[in-house]
């Protein structure tokens, strides 16, 4: 996975995480099928973006604390609550490398 692709996935995840309608409750379709064959192309693309955002969310959630918080600070502009021993840029770069491996393991390239 190249850096531009990861940046796109993180931006998609950031947009998804800022939304108010995360569809809590039971989904109307099966977990593995996010669109129906009769939907239009834009709907299928939006559904795929949401699926990728969910995968990125799971991968970010599985990162070690420092890396997870660094992603939140850099990508989501979350407030910095405490200081790190290393510069946040170093931790964020390490988090990006970890995310590349985790996303590839989930089949997202």
* Banded pLDDT at 23 (limits 50, 70, 90): low
Nearby residues of 12 by Cβ (< 8 Å), 6 or more positions away: 49, 52, 53, 56
**What's the confidence (pLDDT) of residue 60?**
95
What rounded mean pLDDT belongs to the chain? 84
pLDDT of amino acid 34 = 53
Check: pTM over 0.75? Answer yes or no. Answer: yes
Domain ranges of the chain: 3-19+31-105
Crossing angle of the two packed helices 65-75 and 3-18, in degrees rounded to 10: 80
Do 86 and 50 form a contact (C-beta atoms < 8 A)? no
With contact defined as beta carbons under 8 Å apart, do 104 and 93 qualify?
no
Kindly report, residue by residue over 51-66, the tens digit of the pLDDT: 889 999 999 999 999 9
CA within 13 Å, CB half, 79: 1
- Flag whether pLDDT at 95 surpasses 90: yes
């Amino acid at each position: 996975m190249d850096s531009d692709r990861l940046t796109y996935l993180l931006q998609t995840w950031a947009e998804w995480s800022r939304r108010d309608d995360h569809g809590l409750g039971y989904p109307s379709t099966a977990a593995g099928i996010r669109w129906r064959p009769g939907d239009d192309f834009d709907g299928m693309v939006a559904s795929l973006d949401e699926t990728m955002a969910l995968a990125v969310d799971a991968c970010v959630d599985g990162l070690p604390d420092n890396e997870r918080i660094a992603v939140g600070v850099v990508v989501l502009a979350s407030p910095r609550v405490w200081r790190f021993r290393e510069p946040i840029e170093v931790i964020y770069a390490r988090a990006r490398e970890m995310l590349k491996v985790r996303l590839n393991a989930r089949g997202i390239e």
